[in-house]
Structure 1
Amino acid sequence: MSAGDRTQAGYRATLEKRPAEVAAMFDRVAGRYDVTNTVLSGGLDAGWRRATREALGARSGQTVLDVAAGTGVSTVELASGGVTAIACDFSQGMLRAGAHRPVPMVAGDAMALPLADESVDGVVISFGLRNVADPDAALREFARVTRPGGTLVVCEFSTPTWAPWRTVYLEYLMRALPSIARAVSSNPEAYVYLAESIRAWPPQQPMAAKLQAAGWGDVAWRNLTGGIVALHRGTKRG
């Protein structure tokens, strides 16, 4: 096994079930996280954020929670038209990197949010649920803090629907993504873990079943960019 292989295996073994290690990893990439995401997505990230805001459909006067918000770029997108959007992340480094943004920021774990029961009108988590130690517990926690009739939107990498495109995409994840990250990221080894976490994430239908099992109703999804990203939406049952 080469030194690079050992490094990659070490990241997989270390991060798999240790939330503190995942948070520390994000602390290390926080400084160039937004730039790296834009480069790796080919600039598609801005459109994905807009689509997430539109799927949430929050109205003026409502309060929404952006979980795993990172530096708050996605939260700023949500905070438009009189909507109050709160950024929440378990990485202190990410919160510090986004402290200049004009949105409230709180430290918190997706599985134990620092909010009261039924205190927000909607919850969004973008590209973060797959990094949670227990995604099913997080989905239940999102339901706890959401008012009846409120909305959950999960924006996450998913499975391309066209087989040839799926093959190209998976090759990019495992080969090109870490290589590009070495040029632009402050911690390129972390993107080995991120690529593997994307590959291991369930496709659209099983993900919808997870939302339903956690108590969300009217669950549906919409594919973006040929299924590279999927927006799953659910409503808090009254």
Structure 2
Amino acid sequence: MSRASLEKRPREVAAMFDEVAERYDLANDVLSFGQTRLWRRAVLRAVDPRPGQRVLDLAAGTGTSSQPFLLAGAQVVPCDFSLGMLRVGKRRQPLLQFTAGDATRLPFADGVFDAVTISFGLRNVHDPDQALREMLRVTKPGGRLVVCEFSQPVWPPFRTVYSEYLMRALPAIARKVSSNSEAYVYLAESIRAWPDQAELARRIQQAGWHRVAWRNLTGGIVALHRGFRRDDH
């Protein structure tokens, strides 16, 4: 898959992630200049996991994003549709309960998670709006959603520089650190095609989430959206 499209083919996207799984975490650290670690800490604070709570971490990949929830005492379920990612994750972190699953048809009962989070994965889902509705379905009343996703830099001159980096420098760097640099061309294009902060907030709210808000990280390169399922009581 060489071109990004909002009509994504799940099998092709999964195969792409299977291929880059082994060096995916290293590539992310290099391509983000180490910012991924700061973003993960921001997600952890936003999710605010408590001991004994159940957290669903979607698009969890190799489980790097899930480990902080486990260390906080939560019961975390890392879920991904790339079997290659899950295999690498299980080998590296055998204590995590990795689960294969499609975000648009989650293999979980209604209202079983205190929090659901997805980092840098929603834009790769075939139907993001259906995925947001599924996340709502599996969340307990009063529970919370945290979406960490690439977005639009808020300062116009920086936005131009960032766009150039995505389409020119990122694939060149990826050739050095990744087994499939074409995958990062797709990822760069998918970032450019993704809605901005306000539009994503609107779509989260339209999916049924309540009290939706966001804050920018790294000048808007990444946005952290949060929402809550209404308490039925």
Q: TM-score normalised by the shorter chain: which range applies?
A: over 0.9
Q: Give 1:4's aligned residue.
A: none
Q: Give 1:117's aligned residue.
A: 110
Q: Which amino acid aligns with 1:96?
A: R
Q: Give 1:6's aligned residue.
A: none
What is the RMSD computed on CA atoms of the aligned residues?
A: 1.3
Q: Could you tell me the TM-score, scaled by structure 1's length?
A: 0.94
Structure 1: distance between partners of 2:28 and 2:72:
26
What are the equivalent positions in structure 2 for 1:25-104 lying under 5 Å apart? 25-99=16-90, 100-101=92-93, 102-104=95-97
What are the equivalent positions in structure 2 for 1:101-180 lying under 5 Å apart? 101=93, 102-180=95-173
Q: Give 2:211's aligned residue.
A: 218
- Return the offset for 1:103: 1.4
Q: Give 1:5's aligned residue.
A: none
Q: Give 1:181's aligned residue.
A: 174
Structure 1: distance between partners of 2:73 and 2:123:
30
Please point out which of 196, 206, 229 is paired with 1:203. Answer: 196
- Return the offset for 1:74: 0.1
Provide runs of 4+ in structure 1 moved above 6 Å: none
Matched residue of 1:12: which SS?
Answer: coil
Structure 1: distance between partners of 2:197 and 2:72:
30
- Return the offset for 1:13: 7.1
Q: Give 1:24's aligned residue.
A: 15
Structure 1: distance between partners of 2:152 and 2:6:
23
Structure 1: distance between partners of 2:6 and 2:15:
10
Deviations 1:132-184 (A, max 9, x none): 00000000000000000001000000000001111110100000000000010
Structure 2: distance between partners of 1:233 and 1:80:
22
Structure 2: distance between partners of 1:39 and 1:142:
30
Structure 2: distance between partners of 1:38 and 1:108:
25
Structure 2: give runs of 5+ residues left out of the alignment. none
Matched residue of 1:49: which SS?
Answer: helix
Structure 2: distance between partners of 1:205 and 1:86:
29
Mapped contact 1:111–1:134 kept (Cα < 8 A): yes
Mapped contact 2:62–2:86 kept (Cα < 8 A): yes
Identity of aligned residues (%): 65
- Return the offset for 1:80: 2.5
Structure 1: give runs of 5+ residues left out of the alignment. 1-9
Deviations 1:34-70 (A, max 9, x none): 0000000000101100100101112111000000000
- Return the offset for 1:78: 2.0
Deviations 1:94-149 (A, max 9, x none): 00011131311000000011111001111000000000000000000000000000
Q: Which amino acid aligns with 1:105?
A: F
Q: Measured at CA, do residues 141 and 185 of structure 1 come closer, stay the same or move farther in structure 2, by a change above 3 Å?
A: same
Please point out which of 220, 225, 232 is paired with 1:232. Answer: 225
